[in-house]
Amino acid sequence: MTPTNLKPVNARHRTNKRPTQRLAAALLGLALTGAATLAVAEDEDHPRGRDEAPGAPVACMEAARTALSNPATFKWIGPHKRKVAEDAYSITAQVEYGPAGAAPKVVSVQCDVLRAPGDQFVVAKLRLPARQR
């Protein structure tokens, strides 16, 4: 014969936390929020990805412009930058070029670009289709 109006012994402990436990939980939550805010602030100080090396695609474009014939009708289409190592980038793009009055040619260009001292970018290697050199 078990009475039906009795609560389990642990029910009181689940609903009524001690004030020190509540305070500890609140302080832990604040500490974690502060740590997350600090991590976001650190990331803003050191940008990554596309904003890290805006001069790399420009260096590749200038190298391709000088390597291709008839740079007067040169159009740089959709460059893609990929960081391959510390201060080293691989740039790929489509280039539309050709003599004035003729149908333009579209070729793929790939450059290996290195960051030099003074925030300069140097094209270490330029890859063009064999017949376009």
β-bridge partners, 116: 120
Which pLDDT does position 10 carry in this prediction?
56
Which burial class, exposed, middle or buried, applies to 90 when counting CB atoms under 10 A from its CB (0-12, 13-18, 19+)?
middle
* Percent of the chain's residues with pLDDT above 70: 63
pLDDT digits (tens, 9 = 90+) for 16-35: 556 677 777 776 676 667 65
Q: Examine the pLDDT at 9 and tell me if it is beyond 80.
A: no
123 with 59: CB under 8 angstroms? yes
On whether the pTM is more than 0.85, the answer is no
User: Strand 88-97 to strand 75-85: parallel, antiparallel, or no bridges (unpaired)?
Assistant: antiparallel
End-to-end, the C-alpha distance of the chain in Å comes to 97
